[in-house]
Amino acid sequence: MGKFNTEAAKLRSLREATVKACGDWRALRGEQRQIRHGYTLADLERSLFGCRMPSAVAIINEAGWGRDAIGDFCPRCGTTRAPYEDIRGGCGECRGRALGYQATIRLGRYAPPLSQWVPAIKKRAWRDMGVVLGQALSRQVVDSIAAGHTNRPDVVTSVPVHWLRSLLRGIDHGETIGAEVARGLQLPFIKGLRANLSHRQHGSGRSMRTANSNRFALRPNATDFSGKHILLVDDVRTTGATIGEAMTVLKGANPKSVALAVCAVADPPRRNGMLRPELNRIKPPNTPGRSIPRG
Ligand SMILES: [Zn+2]
């Protein structure tokens, strides 16, 4: 540890490493554009040899991040609760709409820093972050059960990724998070769904996402889901199209109920104006360009 003079210097170097690893939101968007035109040599190298990522716990502690309180989001669809909004029986976004799942449990809204960390789990194979957020998510599920928002699940499963895609990325992010949630809840994790190779989802827009059918299928072991309360885990819910498709296929296995657990939920854009102003003013804790004070 001779390299680090103080604990603060160590954290500063971890922060710089995260900026390098995750980039900021614009950098991630730029990379999505790049990836759509094929895997670069660096991507290949990363998937073959893995990559060195900073410690997730240190990054989370430094950012001072914590999961949402149960009352901060709609127990049905996971949308951020507006001030004074009554969310019994759903929020203004989901009330009266059939969702296909009984409850949504989330760690936070899809905004920095989660919107930096969560995509890095799959795009940078940041397994450590997947594990730590999975542990936090299992605690959030326990709190949600205690609040009476969802049934105690019998089985945990995840939204699958095609094996070729997870091989290229070096991680099945849903499984990484889901297995950790299952471990935290002391429940079995069953891969009951399989993904078919389909059009790349990144940047293909809402219309493409909804047009894509037959993306998932049941595996033979999905018979284990019959008559059970299932917890479906994914990294993020954006439009809800992917999760909706997985949910539809999952229903074919006759579960008793399905609840959703995700690291982050993207609010509908119209919600932004309704939220507490400080929520829209959050800046990522590790934006490049912001000067780091020198000691
Ligand atoms: Zn809702």
294 domain-assigned: no
Q: Judge whether 4 and 10 are in contact, CB under 8 Å.
A: yes
The vertex-18 CA angle with 185 and 264, nearest 5°, equals 40
pLDDT tens digits for the chain (295 residues)?
Answer: 444 466 666 666 666 666 665 554 444 444 444 444 445 555 555 555 555 677 889 889 888 999 999 999 999 999 999 988 999 889 999 998 888 899 999 999 999 899 999 999 998 889 999 999 999 999 999 999 999 999 999 999 999 999 999 998 889 999 999 999 999 999 999 999 999 886 555 555 555 444 456 899 999 999 999 999 999 999 999 988 999 999 999 999 999 999 999 999 999 988 877 777 667 554 444 444 444 444 3
285 domain-assigned: no
Q: Element (H or E) spanning 193, and its range?
A: strand 193-195
Distance 209 CA to ligand 1 centre (A): 21
Among 214, 74, 253, 45, which Cα is nearest to 149's?
Answer: 74
Distance 261 CA to ligand 1 centre (A): 14
293 domain-assigned: no
Distance 71 CA to ligand 1 centre (A): 12
288 domain-assigned: no
295 domain-assigned: no
292 domain-assigned: no
- Domains identified in the chain, total number: 1
Distance 196 CA to ligand 1 centre (A): 30
Look up the pTM and report it.
Answer: 0.77
Distance 100 CA to ligand 1 centre (A): 13
pLDDT number for residue 205? 53
CATH of the domain at 165: 3.40.50.2020
* Helix, strand, coil content of the chain in percent (nearest 5): 45, 15, 45
Distance CA 137, CA 78 (A): 13
Distance 66 CA to ligand 1 centre (A): 22
Q: Is 110 exposed, middle or buried (0-12, 13-18, 19+ CB in 10 A)?
A: buried
Distance 96 CA to ligand 1 centre (A): 10
16 domain-assigned: yes
210 domain-assigned: yes
pLDDT number for residue 26? 40
Distance 144 CA to ligand 1 centre (A): 15
Distance 264 CA to ligand 1 centre (A): 14
Distance CA 233, CA 226 (A): 18
Q: Element (H or E) spanning 57, and its range?
A: helix 56-63
Distance 84 CA to ligand 1 centre (A): 14
Q: Element (H or E) spanning 145, and its range?
A: helix 127-146
pLDDT number for residue 90? 92
Q: Which domain holds residue 242?
A: 7-280
Among 236, 243, 238, which Cα is nearest to 212's?
Answer: 243
Distance 169 CA to ligand 1 centre (A): 33
Distance 77 CA to ligand 1 centre (A): 4
pLDDT number for residue 25? 40
pLDDT number for residue 214? 84
Distance 158 CA to ligand 1 centre (A): 22
Distance 186 CA to ligand 1 centre (A): 28
